[in-house]
A and B are shown apart, each in its own frame.
Chain A
Amino acid sequence: MDLLAFIAERYNYWIFIVLMMMGLYIVIARTNLIKKLIGLNVFQTSVFIYYISIGKIAGGTAPIYVAGDMEARAHLAEGDAAEVLPGKSEIGAGAIQGESLHDGFGLAGNDLATLTGKASESDAVHSAPQGGANDIFAAPVLDVDAPAASAAGAFHAAADVIYSNPLPHVLILTAIVVGISTTAVGLALVVRIREAYGAIEEDELEAADNIAEFGRAIAAGQRG
């Protein structure tokens, strides 16, 4: 049961790992260059899913401010208001640190914990960092320094609105763009290879190179 629960709680990671391995396998095992690129794509996509899932928080809404939340937030942050303003903060300053920690632990794992009825006794989602995400590596959770953690807890108790973490999503948007560019360059290369060799199968390319260099197909001969 425990094992099943362990697996089920972390289904998003399993999807990520399975996709990643599939992608890598395709890249390695296929000899067709286009298929290799597709495999590469699958591999990259798995990482996108991983990033997206770590940004999601149980019951969290899209990260758009809800009416009324602003006031609570302003109230909470009044002491440190200055420090959330751009350009004025120092690394590691109290409020910012709390904020970033909160982002860090607002993980999908918590989401799963809630779903599977394993929510901790605490109301504040963010005071339950022992949830899945960290557990999957069966290691002690990072020490959150006490003031920061409690600040984060209080913060949400007051705000009462839970947002998903937008940052990973934004990051992965960039990564998606990079992925598309890579695929585009890769496909363009395949087109050029086909023009130059008349083939897009790796073993045929190798044979063609060997014929050009040694006058016979060494590698192909060995395989055959």
Chain B
Amino acid sequence: MTLLAQLPVIPVILPLIAAPLTILMPSAKLQGRIPWLWASAVSWATFAACATLLYSVATAGEISYHLGDWGPPIGIEYRIDLLNALVLTLVSGVAALVIPFSYASIRSEINQRQISLFYAALLICMVGLLGVTITGDAFNVFVFLEIASLSTYALVALGGRRDRRALTAAFNYLVMGTIGATFFVIGLGLLYQATGTLNMADLKIQLAGDDNRMVEAGFAFILVGMGLKAAMFPMHLWLPNAYAYAPSAVAAFIAATSTKVAVYVIIRFIYTVIGADFDFIGAAFGWLLAPLAIAGMFFASIVAVFQDDLKRMLAYSSVGQIGYMLLGISFATEQGLAASLVHLFNHGLMKGALFMAVACVVLRAGTQSHAGCAGLAFRMPWTTGAFVIAGASLIGAPLTVGFISKWQLLSAAFDSGRAWAGFLIVASSLLAVIYIGRVIELMLLRPAPAGGVREAPLSMLVPMWILIAANVYFGVNTELTVDLAERAAHALMGGGS
């Protein structure tokens, strides 16, 4: 057994082992740099592993890893195809940037002695998200999901030092999240009852496309449960407060990753586990997913326009963006699915960058309200620049990832004969012009604020600008995102990779 053969388990095992070790590290010494450096190193190693996995899957095909050498369907299998390799890379990549980024921001926002605990929780959250993505066992998804969720509740609650509303936000998130996870378990139980297996690939074989109310009920429970976790409209109520009051770096991490992972699970269950041949899936696409996606796109974007808190605005925007992904899925075409996957990846990049920029604003201007942005272009040019580029990406300006997403979604809509959907997509992105434009106008066209507001430290600027560079790079070179997403969609729709 070479180390390379064990690679698929590294993204989960490495941070899982590293997290408890982080707790042992002193928060007080060297201003808490030890756990920070440690967590950064772990996140980079994890990212390296995930990127290697992506490369190997893209070139050599799917990887199936049997935990403890117990083969499927009895043992737990990690099954890595293009779809989850892409999500793994996104999650670990964002983590590898957010963790180094977080240091200055976190030190100012949470209790000094909790720094090592914070990094432990962040690593565990990462484990959970990576585990959900990598596993090929349906019940394993639930376990990792709860690992991620529990640590997220704790991370959100850490914002309580700045604003006590973080505590109630975390509590509400906990209640909603647990209901969602429990619904998911009920759905799994029904699927298990119908098939007697929990391995995803085996589940599909056993279901063999036979319709059955038990399967339908199971799918409904899973969709609702995961919809809650993905903040699918109208089950998004936990999200705005959780993002708004969580420590800024945490918001950047979970906004870029956690809802995306939940969307991934929905895609995975629809295509890999249940199979999209069922009539009820088609009905769910047409009558549930598409209307809710559109409602979310507009409702959340309109609400975002009227926010006067940066993080809440971005949070509502996230709900709207989830709508784009679900809309793409609901087209039920290969192109639509590929567009969703591209947007899933790209939205992680842009929302991560936007929340990072807000974290810089919070650190230096000490506020996350719109009013605090006035004239920041003169004091924090790099942060403003990052916000403008990431915002342009969110709007869908050409040569950024946002444009690629929008183009893919639009051409999927027009190609599948849904011209109306195309116009709804652009109409809701016009709302993004308004809410992002408001902030940019404040930043650029107001006089510089009084007082000693200065540019954020390099430790924050560098990771942020790496993410901005990714926003532009993947907006021009789409080989990684679009090609892989198209291949992944092709494989999921049964064309084989």
A–B direct contact (CB < 8 Å): yes
A209 and B164 alpha carbons, distance in the complex (Å): 9
B51 at the interface (CB under 8 A from A): no
Question: Is there an interface contact between A91 and B201, defined as CB atoms closer than 8 Å?
Answer: yes
Which residues 103-136 in A have Cβ within 8 Å of B in the complex? 103-107, 133-134
Given A142-B212, A197-B164 in contact, is the A86-B75 Cβ separation under 8 Å?
yes
* CB-CB nearest in chain A for B191: A104
A102 to chain B, nearest CB (A): 7
Question: Is there an interface contact between A54 and B201, defined as CB atoms closer than 8 Å?
Answer: no
A36 at the interface (CB under 8 A from B): yes
Partner-contacting stretch, out of A43-51, A70-78, A156-164: A43-51
Question: Is there an interface contact between A54 and B189, defined as CB atoms closer than 8 Å?
Answer: yes
Given A140-B212, A171-B139, A181-B146 in contact, is the A90-B192 Cβ separation under 8 Å?
no
Question: Is there an interface contact between B146 and A133, defined as CB atoms closer than 8 Å?
Answer: no
Given A50-B186, A107-B193 in contact, is the A189-B179 Cβ separation under 8 Å?
no
A97 and B212 alpha carbons, distance in the complex (Å): 19
* CB-CB nearest in chain A for B151: A185
A171 and B184 alpha carbons, distance in the complex (Å): 13
Centre residue among A50, A141, A171 by max chain B CB count within 10 A: A171
Question: Is there an interface contact between B168 and A87, defined as CB atoms closer than 8 Å?
Answer: no
Which listed residue, B66, B150, B185, B208, touches A87 by the CB 8 Å rule?
A: B66
Partner-contacting stretch, out of B169-177, B295-303, B320-328: B169-177
A44 and B174 alpha carbons, distance in the complex (Å): 13
Which listed residue, A44, A100, A174, A186, touches B196 by the CB 8 Å rule?
A: A100
Which listed residue, A101, A143, A196, touches B167 by the CB 8 Å rule?
A: A196
B81 to chain A, nearest CB (A): 14
A54 and B42 alpha carbons, distance in the complex (Å): 41
A105 and B193 alpha carbons, distance in the complex (Å): 7
Given A36-B175, A40-B175, A193-B167 in contact, is the A90-B71 Cβ separation under 8 Å?
yes
Question: Is there an interface contact between A185 and B153, defined as CB atoms closer than 8 Å?
Answer: yes
A57 at the interface (CB under 8 A from B): no
A167 and B69 alpha carbons, distance in the complex (Å): 19
A90 to chain B, nearest CB (A): 7
Q: Is chain A's binding surface mostly helix, strand, loop or mixed?
A: helix
Which residues 405-450 in B have Cβ within 8 Å of A in the complex? none
A205 at the interface (CB under 8 A from B): yes
B205 at the interface (CB under 8 A from A): yes
A218 at the interface (CB under 8 A from B): no
B52 to chain A, nearest CB (A): 24
B62 at the interface (CB under 8 A from A): no
B197 at the interface (CB under 8 A from A): yes
The bracket for how many chain B residues form the interface is 35 or more
A62 at the interface (CB under 8 A from B): no
**Residues of the A chain whose Cβ atoms lie less than 8 Å from the Cβ of B71:** 86-90
Question: Is there an interface contact between A192 and B157, defined as CB atoms closer than 8 Å?
Answer: yes
Question: Is there an interface contact between B73 and A87, defined as CB atoms closer than 8 Å?
Answer: no
Question: Is there an interface contact between B197 and A104, defined as CB atoms closer than 8 Å?
Answer: yes
Which residues 11-51 in A have Cβ within 8 Å of B in the complex? 20, 24, 27, 33, 36-37, 40, 43-44, 47, 50-51
A139 at the interface (CB under 8 A from B): yes
A217 at the interface (CB under 8 A from B): no
Which listed residue, B182, B193, B214, touches A44 by the CB 8 Å rule?
A: B182
Question: Is there an interface contact between B142 and A175, defined as CB atoms closer than 8 Å?
Answer: yes
Question: Is there an interface contact between A185 and B196, defined as CB atoms closer than 8 Å?
Answer: no
A190 at the interface (CB under 8 A from B): yes
Given A27-B175, A40-B178, A186-B171 in contact, is the A142-B210 Cβ separation under 8 Å?
yes
A167 and B138 alpha carbons, distance in the complex (Å): 13
* CB-CB nearest in chain B for A213: B165
* CB-CB nearest in chain B for A48: B185
Question: Is there an interface contact between A43 and B179, defined as CB atoms closer than 8 Å?
Answer: yes
Which listed residue, A50, A143, A174, touches B210 by the CB 8 Å rule?
A: A143
A191 and B71 alpha carbons, distance in the complex (Å): 45
A61 at the interface (CB under 8 A from B): no
**Residues of the A chain whose Cβ atoms lie less than 8 Å from the Cβ of B150:** 178, 181-182, 185
Question: Is there an interface contact between A91 and B205, defined as CB atoms closer than 8 Å?
Answer: yes
A224 at the interface (CB under 8 A from B): no
B307 at the interface (CB under 8 A from A): no
A168 and B186 alpha carbons, distance in the complex (Å): 12
A137 at the interface (CB under 8 A from B): yes
A215 at the interface (CB under 8 A from B): no
A223 and B189 alpha carbons, distance in the complex (Å): 41
B319 at the interface (CB under 8 A from A): no
* CB-CB nearest in chain A for B185: A47
**Residues of the A chain whose Cβ atoms lie less than 8 Å from the Cβ of B174:** 182, 185-186, 189
B217 at the interface (CB under 8 A from A): yes
B60 to chain A, nearest CB (A): 19
B334 to chain A, nearest CB (A): 25
Which listed residue, A47, A96, A102, A171, touches B182 by the CB 8 Å rule?
A: A47
B160 at the interface (CB under 8 A from A): yes
**Residues of the A chain whose Cβ atoms lie less than 8 Å from the Cβ of B192:** 54, 104, 168
Question: Is there an interface contact between B195 and A104, defined as CB atoms closer than 8 Å?
Answer: yes
Which residues 392-412 in B have Cβ within 8 Å of A in the complex? none
A51 and B192 alpha carbons, distance in the complex (Å): 10
A90 and B165 alpha carbons, distance in the complex (Å): 51
Question: Is there an interface contact between B217 and A196, defined as CB atoms closer than 8 Å?
Answer: no
**Residues of the B chain whose Cβ atoms lie less than 8 Å from the Cβ of A5:** none
Inter-chain pairs besides A47-B189, A90-B71, A96-B74, 17 sampled, C-beta below 8 Å: A44-B178, A44-B182, A86-B68, A89-B72, A97-B205, A104-B193, A104-B196, A106-B196, A133-B193, A137-B213, A175-B142, A189-B174, A193-B167, A193-B168, A193-B171, A196-B167, A209-B165
22 example contacts (A-B, Cβ-Cβ < 8 A) are as follows A27-B175, A33-B171, A40-B178, A47-B182, A47-B186, A54-B193, A86-B68, A86-B74, A90-B71, A103-B196, A104-B193, A134-B194, A139-B214, A140-B210, A142-B207, A168-B192, A171-B198, A175-B185, A182-B150, A185-B174, A189-B174, A193-B168
Closest 8 CB pairs of A and B: A104-B196, A137-B213, A139-B213, A87-B69, A196-B164, A103-B196, A86-B70, A100-B197
